[in-house]
Structure 1
Amino acid sequence: MKKVLLSEKIDDAGINLLKKNNFDVQVAPNTDADSMKAAIKDAYAVIMRSSKLPADVIAAGKELKIISRNGTGINNVDVDAATKQHVLVAKVNGANAFSVAEYVMTTMLSLSRRITKSDTALRAHKSELSGTSLPGFSTDYDLNGHELRGKTLAILGLGKIGQQLVTLAEAFGMNVIGYDPYIKDSPVKLYDQLTDIYPLADFLSVNMPLTPETKNMITTKELSLMKPTAYIINSARGGIINEADLADALNHDRLAGAAIDSFNPEPPAPDNPLFDSKNTILTSHIAGTTKEANAALGIGAAQAIIDFSNGKLPQFPVNPDVFDN
């Protein structure tokens, strides 16, 4: 039986699909380099989640033929090293698009309606509530938020996630604009320059991959172009927004709030400045990991290996030239 190594456990739906197709599925004992080197030696395929797969680990996979990414981003896999070793890299596109878009809407609503602030205030002043008017309490503690309707959402990256987000945001009556230099047909008005889009946004949603071009793309300079009443949501990758600069902008009221689901590095260090930034929702990389999305991702990652084993190019190859060799 061909061995499929999982760097971390994937959804049972993907594991069961592999077993049904007669693969030996094993989970690595740990994601550190030494553990992965030992476990990958006799693996035909490996499925990666968010941990890193560097060149030296790939080189240890003497039987390795395919790396399947349990997700869309591939910044954690050394694709160049895999290509040199004639190992195909595949990914799963769109399986968690709705989940990520839903996360953005959820955090925009929470920030705009001041849900967390209201919860905190109510708990902190519970002994003072008797005989008071809750609407009056809300006014006194500045808990009355805003509707999303009529606000402008700027989406950076109009791929599957971004386009799904357009649909949801427009259903709330939002004005949606976007930036994406790689697409021709867009459901919303696109801007050619990021400097033109920042000042227009009431909400800015980052839905781009982490690349050399997008790394540290949003710093103090870019944040200073935004309205002080604006909110920023990053459900993509840590490293696109400079975290220290973002925290500084939030703590000095140059931004109204933020929701951050990915960090640089990940997991975030204890001294990450976002832990102490004002009006910030921090989540543990959950945007695209609903139970429904996890099942779809696991099935997609497994299917790529099954297809490859049957001599078929997977649906979303990253280095397809390897397949021809």
Structure 2
Amino acid sequence: MKIVLLDVDTVTNGDVSLAPIERLGEVVGYPLLPPEKVAAAIGDADAVVCNKTELSAEVIAACENLKFIGVFATGYNNIDLAAAKARGITVCNVPGYSTDAVAQHVFAMVLSLAGSLAAYDRSVHAGDWVREKRFTYFPYPLHELAGKTLGIFGCGAIGKKVAAIGRAFGMDILVSTRTPAHCPGETCCTPDELFAAADVLTFHCPLTPETRGIINRRTLSLMKPTALLINTARGGIMDEVAVADALHAGVIAGAGIDVQVKEPMAADNPLLTAPHCILTPHIAWAPFETRVRLIDRVAENLSAFQNGNPINTVI
């Protein structure tokens, strides 16, 4: 079986081995390719695995031998599922591989913002502590998480993990979800109620017509001026200009943003100059251990397909 791996450089810098996949056939790997070169790269492949590369109906139609499409991800909106289904191509994703990693990243951002860690680090490195007469100084805000309300938009695996960690800090949990029955024991509310009540508001939802732009000027205006906003979900759920303006105006106290509408980030993105805003380059999912797990599960998906018992099928 000829297996073509696309955008390999989005899952490994050479630190994570592709051997689990390489054992399954003749493997050819490519870094991120321009869209016009994708069809030629996979034209004779029996199996293709990609991360964010778009596999359109036209690209799929050009691949006569293609029988399997895997994604190095949970999301698969870059695959034309209708075209794959029409061809009888099996499509598999990798659910749940990054749950712990994303929840960890959420609290890395929350703790940094709640403790003004970036500001204190810059201050100490600038010599402020050396010049200080007291043993300590605290010009920047410092807040405990205990007793604060953690608002979680979306209550899938990641949302549930975030809730568990929040409880360990003594936080009160409030959830907004389309499926309250899947979150037994949680206090659920409407999205507007969540924006208004949360001291920390974090999003764990897919990008859908309903969630697109849900973080906007109106919903931000509902938030407490002391509240923190965390987005590790999808860039498209927020209006970046509205978030930046809210930070400049003190409508909210801080934000931690791991995803953008346009990725890589645009040079004129207003969040780059917004105060009290931690920005990371879509890495919440990407710890070493998580990427090892991802490669292993992609290999498991492909091996199961080869054995006639496909798993984690989207179609």
Q: Paired residue for 1:156, among 153, 156, 161?
A: 153
Distance 2:51 2:17 in 1: 13
Structure 2 equivalent of residue 15 of structure 1:
18
Q: 1:110 to 1:131 in 2, by over 3 A?
A: closer
1:161-240 mapped onto 2 (5 Å cutoff): 161-182=158-179, 184-240=181-237
**Contact residue 103 and residue 161 of structure 2 kept, 8 A:** yes
Q: Which runs of 5+ in 2 are unaligned?
A: none
Question: Over aligned residues, Cα RMSD in angstroms?
Answer: 1.9
1:284 to 278, 281, 284: 281
- Aligned equivalents of 1:59, 1:70: Cα separation in 2: 22
Identity %: 37
Q: 1:89: which partner in 2?
A: 91
User: CA shift at 1:80, angstroms?
Assistant: 2.8
Aligned runs of 1:9-48 on 2, under 5 Å?
Answer: 9=9, 10-11=11-12, 15-21=18-24, 23-48=25-50
How far off its partner does 1:279 sit?
Answer: 0.5
TM-score by length of 1: 0.90
Is 1:116 the counterpart of 2:118? The answer is: yes
Aligned equivalent of 1:305: 302
Task: In structure 1, list runs of 5 or more residues that go unmatched.
Answer: 320-325
User: What is the rounded CA distance, in whole Å, between the counterparts of 1:183 and 1:72 in structure 2?
Assistant: 22
May I ask how many residue pairs the two structures share in their alignment?
Answer: 312
SS of aligned partner of 1:184: helix
Separation (CA, whole Å) in 1 of partners of 2:209 and 2:60: 22
Question: For residues 273 and 128 of structure 2, what CA distance do their matches in structure 1 show?
Answer: 27
TM-score (norm 2): 0.92
Q: CA deviation at 1:172?
A: 0.8
Q: Give, in whole Å, the separation in 2 of the partners of 1:60 and 1:79.
A: 15
Cα deviation code 1:178-231 (max 9, x no counterpart): 112135231552434211111110011111111222111221111111111111
Q: CA deviation at 1:84?
A: 3.0
- Segment of structure 1 superposing worse, 245-254 or 142-151: 142-151
Supply the distance in 1 between the matched residues of 2:64 and 2:89 (Cα, whole angstroms). 10
Opposite residue 7 of structure 1, the aligned amino acid is D
The 2-side partners of 1:225 and 1:188 are apart by: 26
Distance 1:311 1:215 in 2: 38
Q: Secondary structure at the match of 1:135?
A: coil
The alpha-carbon distance between structure 1 residues 55 and 215, as it changes in their structure 2 partners (threshold 3 A), is farther
d(CA) in 1 for partners of 2:52 and 2:304? 23
The code of the aligned residue for 2:77 comes to N
For residues 245-302 of structure 1, the C-alpha deviation after alignment (integer angstroms, 9 at most, x for no partner) is 1111111110111111111111111001111111000001110110011011111122
CA distance in 2, matches of 1:71, 1:206: 18
Tell me if the contact between 2:70 and 2:91 (Cα under 8 Å) persists in the aligned partners. Answer: yes
* 1:72-109 residue CA offsets vs partner (Å, 9 max, x unmatched): 12233332332233322211111110000011111100
Q: Determine which of 280, 291, 314 is the counterpart of 1:294.
A: 291
Q: Are residues 168 and 131 of structure 1, via their aligned partners in 2, closer, same or farther at CA, if it must alter by over 3 Å?
A: closer
**Greater RCO structure (CA 8 Å; 6+ sep):** 1
Distance 1:241 1:95, change over 3 A: same
Distance 1:131 1:90, change over 3 A: closer
Shift of 1:5: 2.6
**Residues 170 and 16 of structure 1: is their aligned pair in 2 closer, same or farther, counting only changes over 3 Å?**
same
Q: CA shift at 1:35, angstroms? A: 2.0
Q: What corresponds to 2:314 in structure 1?
A: 318
Which deviates more, 58-67 or 167-176? 58-67
